[in-house]
Amino acid sequence: MTTFYHGSPELFDKFDLSKAGDGTGIKFGFGVYLTESEASAVHYSQPRNQPLTKDHYLYTVEIPDLTDDNHLVSAKPVPAAIVQRAKANLGKPIPEEKTRQGKEFRKWLGLTLTGSKKVDVASEKAAAEFLDSIGVFCNVWPQAQSKPDGLKNCAVFNAANVQIVKREHIEINRQGGHFVVVENSIKTI
């Protein structure tokens, strides 16, 4: 298992994907959005373009370890094993140009499965469910595009693959362009 973090203005015991897309959208796919950076999770606990909320929560979670054939990387080629499993389950060929980047593959799958002409929550959800069904549990992208091998963010397609191991109530303040934890404000719940 690998440790990631999630920040939210909501307190909960388990993740609920019925609200996926409500916060920051689905730019990186349908799923539970996590980060390897605790500081980023703290920052994400404040809803965008809204007044500072009173309550903020930092979740420490565990997800399955990333292996070569169980996740997509947004800007990297799709592993051959994933392409083969997808092709076998779709029963149709996959255009080679759609396998050069995980994000293009994911989007193509969603559009193909729904028959939609536009990427939206329904097509991303269809892609996530399909990928989860063939053993691909998340989409990964670098926290900073300038550091592709640095800390990662991910969207886990199925909330059952995310185990909350710690919940903390935090207070935050804006510092420069980011939100940070107020010193001595962390309370484990």
Average pLDDT, rounded, for the chain = 93
pLDDT(24) > 70: no
pLDDT at 56: 96
Amino acid at 36: E
Question: Rounded to an integer, what distance in angstroms lies between the CA atom of residue 45 and that of residue 180?
Answer: 10
pLDDT-wise least confident of 17-21, 64-68, 104-108, 165-169 = 17-21
Question: Rounded to an integer, what distance in angstroms lies between the CA atom of residue 189 and that of residue 170?
Answer: 10
* Nearest of 8, 41, 56, 44 to residue 187 by alpha carbon: 56
110: tokens are: 């969603």
